[in-house]
Structure 1
Amino acid sequence: MNGEEIIPLPGGQRAPWGANFTAPHRVGGRGRVNITTSLECHVFKHPDIIFERTGRPTGHRRPFCICISLIPRIHFLKERLMTQKRPAALITGASSGIGAAFARKLASMGYDLLLTGRREKLLEDLCAELSTRYGILAGYMIAELADESQLREVEDTIRRMPNLRILINNAGYTRLELFAEDSIDAQVDMIKVHDIAAVRLTHAAIPILRTHNWGAVINVSSIAAFLIGARNLMYDATKGFLLSFSSSLHIELGGTGIRVQALCPGFTRTDFHMKLGYGPEHPIFRRRRFMSADKVVQASLGCLERGKVICIPGRRNRWIAFICKHMPRKLFYSLYSKRRLKKKRG
């Protein structure tokens, strides 16, 4: 190594993917550390050493964090999360909102975490926060689940996680467009992200969960699964699939120790609605009662503990689901049609 000192990871371990950490010099316990690897990964942990990727300027100190970049190249998360004895959870759509709330709660319970999402800065900051506060191993993958090749890489990563105990399929979004007027590719992508990704990741996780005779799969559906309506057609339909899929899977896995839940939150204080153009001053925020993401997660884990398959946080939301489920379809369609006419006239 040209006389350069090899610096192992804390605890005497080498980089999980076989990369070498070299330090041309160290001054007063601190030094510039270049990672001699071609992989698009980086690891940070040490109060007295600033780690940097080759070619990037040194910045600030960071706690332990593993990054796997799936865009434009895809690499596996190896050794570390694959060999830990602590239980681990994988959460999709963990950049913010309910996914991030799940990550914080499970980290406080001692779970190692692998988070996926598309917003790298948010994922990196969240992993740094959780690893510092709770001393757990937190990793993230930048993944577009509508892309089949990237989805397969997440599947393969799950198969290499023998310590996996909880899978949370949370990735999702909506589009307020009429089905016939919207791009068909956009509509199909929503099916891929909400349903196909959840099905494939769950299929990859079940064999691992079975080896422990205990585990959980939480599919984040929505109160919209009980509703129907225009301009949200594909969102309602895909969330309805998750509800049905989770209920059927619960029956199929009976007696295995694996619990399955369809989490159906109502309006929740996240950036989900902000992306649709509903700012804090929008009337929708004043008319409706929003739950916090933390309360949604608390309700979900409570239902999971009790073995409840369909979890609807909030009494008001449960009443909405009950009414929609038992209302005669003809009346239901009539009410929605009148509502659409009023909107058009307005």
Structure 2
Amino acid sequence: MKKALVTGSSSGIGAAFAAHLARQGSDLVLVARRQDRLETLAERLRGETGVSVEVLKADLADPTDLHRIEERIEQGDDIDLLVNNAGIGDIAHFVDQERDTHERMIAVNVLALTRLSHAAIPGMVERGGGTIINVASGFAFDYMPGASVYAATKSYVAQLTHVLDAELREKGMRFQALVPGLTRTELGGDAEFFDMFPPEHVMSPEVLVEVSLASLELGERVCIPRLADIGEWERAHAAIRAVGKSPPHNQVAPRYGLDQQSAG
């Protein structure tokens, strides 16, 4: 890969992506809010691997910062991998969270990911193709109380990734929805949260990234690292799609007790 842009790259999964890609010889554009951490990581990766590392401090919930990163993507002709990793994952019951918290989660997890993908895709297609990895979550497929807005944003990420793949795979684009399980990060600002789980239940970001990139080479559009049989996911996804499709008639299901002749 020529150059990768990784959001949320100052720690956790984003930093692990940056380190792994640098070892593979990819130049990097690192985006995150914490300038000091970005500079420290960039200096280390330059010294260890010799790759070029560009640092862009940005809060993707801030429209001005977001537009600046979009412009960097659009004005360059060098990004062939975009890792949309930045995310906010505060967990609390819906009414116990401030509306501003909800808005910030949606801004980063949904709006920023969408706009950066939209900025990247045209240039990638023009250059013959590219890759976008979107970090989703197992909450995208669950209904855990306390994860309402976070889970909804990650459902959006998963669905968008599926549809973009269907639209653009024939134009040389590759997409992956990465679905981490318990992975040691600083999501929500509480690095100690994962200490309550047995160590063997928590994956390291480094292993997660290795699996993600291996999954990409296998052509998997969804990467669920702990799932032994990817066919299990494919069958479940196919069943959900089948239920969602309208049958070829306008008959209302009998359980609603309506006069079928009035269904039209």
Q: What residue in structure 2 maps to residue 248 of structure 1?
A: 163
Q: What residue in structure 2 maps to residue 312 of structure 1?
A: 224
Distance in 2 separating the partners of 1:211 and 1:142: 28
Matched to 2:159, the amino acid is S
1:97-116 aligned at under 5 Å gives the runs 97-116=12-31
Structure 2 counterpart SS, 1:95 = coil
Distance in 2 separating the partners of 1:241 and 1:89: 23
Structure 2 counterpart SS, 1:113 = strand
Q: What residue in structure 2 maps to residue 138 of structure 1?
A: 53
Distance in 2 separating the partners of 1:194 and 1:317: 28
Bigger Rg, structure 1 or 2 = 1
Mark the CA change 1:279 to 1:168 in structure 2 (over 3 Å): closer, same or farther: closer
Which one has a larger percent strand, Structure 1 or Structure 2?
1
Q: What residue in structure 2 maps to residue 290 of structure 1?
A: 202
TM-aligned CA deviation for residue 172 of structure 1 = 0.8
Mark the CA change 1:172 to 1:214 in structure 2 (over 3 Å): closer, same or farther: same
Identity of aligned residues (%): 36
TM-aligned CA deviation for residue 273 of structure 1 = 6.5
For each residue in 1:139-198, what CA deviation from the matched residue of structure 2 results, as whole angstroms up to 9, or x when unmatched?
111111111111001000111220111000000121122111211111011011001101
Matched to 1:289, the amino acid is H
Q: 1:163 aligns with which of 49, 54, 78?
A: 78
Which one has a larger percent helix, Structure 1 or Structure 2?
2
Distance in 2 separating the partners of 1:158 and 1:295: 28
Q: What residue in structure 2 maps to residue 40 of structure 1?
A: none
Distance in 2 separating the partners of 1:115 and 1:158: 12
Q: 2:213 aligns with which of 296, 301, 304?
A: 301
* TM-score with structure 1 setting the length: 0.64
Unaligned 5+ residue runs, structure 2? 241-264
TM-aligned CA deviation for residue 267 of structure 1 = 0.3
Mark the CA change 1:273 to 1:147 in structure 2 (over 3 Å): closer, same or farther: closer
Structure 2 counterpart SS, 1:164 = coil
Distance in 1 separating the partners of 2:237 and 2:95: 27
The answer to whether the 8 Å contact 1:215/1:257 transfers is: yes
1:1-346 aligned at under 5 Å gives the runs 87-272=2-187, 275=190, 278=193, 280=195, 284-286=196-198, 289-315=201-227
TM-aligned CA deviation for residue 96 of structure 1 = 0.7
Count of aligned residue pairs for this structure pair? 240
Distance in 1 separating the partners of 2:8 and 2:189: 16
The answer to whether the 8 Å contact 1:176/1:232 transfers is: yes
Mark the CA change 1:317 to 1:221 in structure 2 (over 3 Å): closer, same or farther: farther
The answer to whether the 8 Å contact 1:223/1:321 transfers is: no
Matched to 2:224, the amino acid is I
Matched to 2:207, the amino acid is K
Distance in 1 separating the partners of 2:69 and 2:10: 16
Distance in 1 separating the partners of 2:44 and 2:25: 14
Mark the CA change 1:111 to 1:252 in structure 2 (over 3 Å): closer, same or farther: same
Distance in 2 separating the partners of 1:123 and 1:187: 26
The structure whose RCO (Cα within 8 Å, separation 6+) is larger is: 2
TM-aligned CA deviation for residue 259 of structure 1 = 0.2
TM-aligned CA deviation for residue 288 of structure 1 = 6.5
Mark the CA change 1:274 to 1:153 in structure 2 (over 3 Å): closer, same or farther: closer
Mark the CA change 1:324 to 1:289 in structure 2 (over 3 Å): closer, same or farther: farther
Q: Please report the RMSD computed on the Cα atoms of aligned residues, expressed in angstroms.
A: 2.6
For each residue in 1:103-128, what CA deviation from the matched residue of structure 2 results, as whole angstroms up to 9, or x when unmatched?
01111111110111111121111100
Unaligned 5+ residue runs, structure 1? 1-85, 329-346
For each residue in 1:22-41, what CA deviation from the matched residue of structure 2 results, as whole angstroms up to 9, or x when unmatched?
xxxxxxxxxxxxxxxxxxxx
Distance in 2 separating the partners of 1:255 and 1:322: 20
TM-aligned CA deviation for residue 320 of structure 1 = 10
Larger deviation: 243-252 or 308-317? 308-317
Mark the CA change 1:232 to 1:325 in structure 2 (over 3 Å): closer, same or farther: farther
